[in-house]
Amino acid sequence: MKKVAIIGAGIAGIASAIRLAHKGFEVSVFEANAYAGGKLSSFELEGYRFDAGPSLFTLPNLVTELFELVGQNPNNFFEYEQLTEICRYFWEDKTRLTAWAEPVKFAQEVEEVTGEPAEKIIQFLKDSAFKYEVLDGLFLQDSLHKLSTWTSKKALKGYLNLPKLGIFGTMNQANQKLFKNPKIVQLFNRYATYNGSNPYQTPATLNIIPHLEYNLGAFFPKKGMVSITNSLVKLAESLGVKFYFETKVEEIIIENGKVKRVKLSRNGENKENNFGLIPFDVVVSNMDVTHTYRKLLPNEKHPNFLLNQPKSSSGVIFYWGIKKKFPALDLHNILFSDNYLEEFNTMFEKKTIYHDPTVYINITSKHKPDDAPEGCENWFVLINAPANEGQDWDEIIAQTKENVLRKISRILGQNISELIECEQILDPRTIESKTSSAQGALYGNSSNNRFAAFLRHANFSSKIKNLYFVGGSVHPGGGIPLALSSAKIMSNNLKNFA
């Protein structure tokens, strides 16, 4: 039986393990941390439970298909519900807008609150669906680095519709052209942050993203986002996949241009494995591609042009236990900046956080009450931040916390600092150290130009035989759906393994 080593137990690594075990490989997953999931993990703090990273769940079929692939009923492992309300939006002038999951109801709400015609919203969402229909099979399901992809019928459809895909203008330009109300432009511009990009630079092609929420649906896992990780680990183990935690891969050994073995070190007291140099037929790295090359392949030629591309945004997250319930807030909440353009300029050009940042608050206890003590809420407060380039993060975080607390307190009419019972903070430095993401970037390379899709590494090495890559730093990109897609693309490429 051919042996596969998977480096990293992030969601893409776990999905890869399932797919390759199903193909008949003997799969070992090595994870430097003591837990699986990477960013998609959780922790508890003084009676509050927090999902550590991703908080929005779309395209659940990409999860459930892994169970169906191996003949299992997903409902036996994993349960989720569809949201009727996607997000609540707040502006400083006291404008409040609820983004309903049903497109017509949402469009009517937009017209009533802002005066933006409902038909414009419907038009936008139809265009978003069209872009998805054209690009899904080409971009999300196939490698952009294979000639067969570009000579397929799906590619021909893309060529014929190229002017309609938004490649030649920015997201902001497209949204300003369609909408007259600046608040609605801002609302749809924010979807650039879903892959860590700048709406004033990223192609309008990324207007594909709202389709996932409004037309296909947003969901909530009944046991929290971490249950995606937990259920898939359980499935992988049922297929014979072996997970080795607190086990760090130090080097991938290449001989004659081909993967030969991996060199392991032990961080903890895991004694199940014979640590040292272990032979493998295939290596799949779920580690950030930049760190994979620079740390694990020190003697191989590096694709520096790709590795040196500007990174996506990162984030600063405040996990707060709040000793009060706020009916004005729901599961997902956005408190917008009054100057979105300057916020992004500050992040991507000045490499710091704007003094009036947009604030995202996720409160899972709204749907899962046992995530917080009675009468309390667990707040996951995210502020977009630049990647780590050696800034004075202690100073930035201290100032940002003050600004954020003042902003939330203004909008909700209550002094929030008095309600914080406990706190934990995640910043670009700790994101990098915990998840091995280069510079703490959440999505690998940024997508701030029209060629960004081609500036991501392929899911395979063209130079080293039997070396593959998955996760948010490679094709097709970051976020749960794209990370899961990367595992599928990798697995399909590996069918030619020899």
Instruction: Give Cα 423 distance to the centre of its chain.
Output: 23
Distance CA 378, CA 363 (A): 6
Distance CA 310, CA 444 (A): 9
Q: Residue ranges of the alpha helices (H) in 367-392?
A: none
230 φψ region: left (φ > 0), alpha (ψ -120 to 50), beta (else): alpha
CA distances from 326 to 221, 232, 320 (A): 22, 33, 14
Name the residue with tokens 């969601």: 11
Distance CA 138, CA 476 (A): 10
Do residues 416 and 405 make contact, with C-beta atoms less than 8 angstroms apart?
yes
pLDDT digits (tens, 9 = 90+) for 389-423: 999 999 999 999 999 999 999 999 999 999 999 99
Is the four-CA dihedral 336, 342, 344, 350 of positive or negative sign?
Answer: negative
Pairing of strands 282-285, 467-469: parallel
CA distances from 243 to 5, 17, 178, 386, 459 (A): 10, 10, 50, 33, 22
Look at residue 252 in the predicted model and tell me its pLDDT: 97
Cβ-based burial of 212 (10 A; exposed 0-12, middle 13-18, buried ≥19): buried
Closest among 490, 477, 492 to 135, alpha carbons compared: 477
* Segments making up each domain of the chain, as ranges: 3-42+58-72+223-309+446-496, 104-216
Q: Which two tokens stand for residue 367?
A: 């749907």
Q: Which residues contact 181 (CB under 8 A, 6 or more apart)?
A: 114, 115, 116
Distance CA 494, CA 489 (A): 9
Is the four-CA dihedral 64, 70, 73, 78 of positive or negative sign?
Answer: negative
Stated pTM of the model: 0.93
Q: Which two tokens stand for residue 269?
A: 């007291």
Do residues 54 and 196 make contact, with C-beta atoms less than 8 angstroms apart?
no
Average pLDDT score over the chain: 92
What does each of the 498 residues of the chain score in pLDDT, given as a tens digit?
899 999 999 999 999 999 999 999 999 999 999 999 999 999 999 999 999 999 999 999 999 999 999 999 999 999 999 999 999 999 999 999 999 999 999 999 999 999 999 999 999 999 999 988 888 766 666 655 555 554 556 555 554 555 567 678 999 999 999 999 999 999 999 999 998 999 999 999 999 999 999 999 999 999 999 999 999 999 999 999 999 999 999 999 999 999 999 999 865 444 444 568 999 999 999 999 999 999 999 999 998 988 989 899 999 999 999 999 999 999 999 999 999 999 999 999 999 999 999 999 999 999 999 999 999 999 999 999 999 999 999 999 999 999 999 999 999 999 999 999 999 999 999 999 999 899 999 988 887 776 666 678 889 998 999 999 999 999 898 899 999 999 999 999 886 554
For the domain covering 3-42+58-72+223-309+446-496, report its CATH number: 3.50.50.60
Name the residue with tokens 């046991």: 223
Q: Which residues contact 337 (CB under 8 A, 6 or more apart)?
A: 343, 354, 356, 357, 358
Beta-bridge mates of residue 105: none
Pairing of strands 218-221, 80-82: antiparallel
pLDDT digits (tens, 9 = 90+) for 213-235: 999 999 999 999 999 999 999 99
Look at residue 149 in the predicted model and tell me its pLDDT: 53
pLDDT digits (tens, 9 = 90+) for 358-378: 999 999 999 999 999 999 999
Distance CA 260, CA 287 (A): 18
